A and B are shown apart, each in its own frame.
Chain A
Amino acid sequence: DGGITQSPKYLFRKEGQNVTLSCEQNLNHDAMYWYRQDPGQGLRLIYYSQIVNDFQKGDIAEGYSVSREKKESFPLTVTSAQKNPTAFYLCASSMNRGRTETQYFGPGTRLLVL
């Protein structure tokens, strides 16, 4: 079955620690996205990538980093510079970054700070 997988489902971070969230898709989509979801605020775009080896900052990129070495993978690292990382993180992909393209979402990773 084609789709997007995110792991782990829950992730705990200690103070000063970097953690990496995994996102993999087998839909052969060019574009991939990372969103952060906080209660009552909807989704906010962290980073997006339109093609391998290229990515762009979204609205709230500070404290985060990404890589896109393979078409099917777009991992997100939450660095120690992100002072309020507790949130639900959603990865999405679309066939290309066209204005009408539907985004397909993964099941999410909930990040909690110890």
Chain B
Amino acid sequence: AQSVTQLDSQVPVFEEAPVELRCNYSSSVSVYLFWYVQYPNQGLQLLLKYLSGSTLVKGINGFEAEFNKSQTSFHLRKPSVHISDTAEYFCAALKTSYDKVIFGPGTSLSVIP
């Protein structure tokens, strides 16, 4: 069965510092990949998604992610974080078929002033 792993459950980072949130998926076939953000007591909002084409995907709020097929990774990055980026971040994957989305366990990003 396909799974999505987010190695870091919590990531503290100082304001204006860069951050990388790691995501790995297990699949022997091509996948579609997503990053969602969840602010406290709210639903999830799509940050970006990789469907095909360029492996570097840019999303909202200055985030970007790079698809690496050989390492089965889809890490999320931001060069300079703000206090408002404090939230839970979920990586998700979908196989190239009409299958359900698989969510990772989430990474809690805390931006320290």
Contacts and interface: CB of A to CB of B under 8 A. Distances in A.
Q: Do A and B make up one complex?
A: yes
Nearest to A43: B103
Nearest to B41: A108
Interface stretch (A13-21, A67-75, A76-84, A98-106): A98-106
Secondary structure dominating the interface of A: loop
Interface residues of B, number: 26
A8 interface: no
A48 interface: yes
B44 to A, nearest CB: 4
Contacts, number: 57
Interface residues of A, number: 25
B101 A40 contact: no
Contact of A45 (B9, B49, B100): B100
Interface of A: 4, 6, 35, 40-45, 48, 58-59, 90, 92, 97-100, 102-103, 105-108, 110
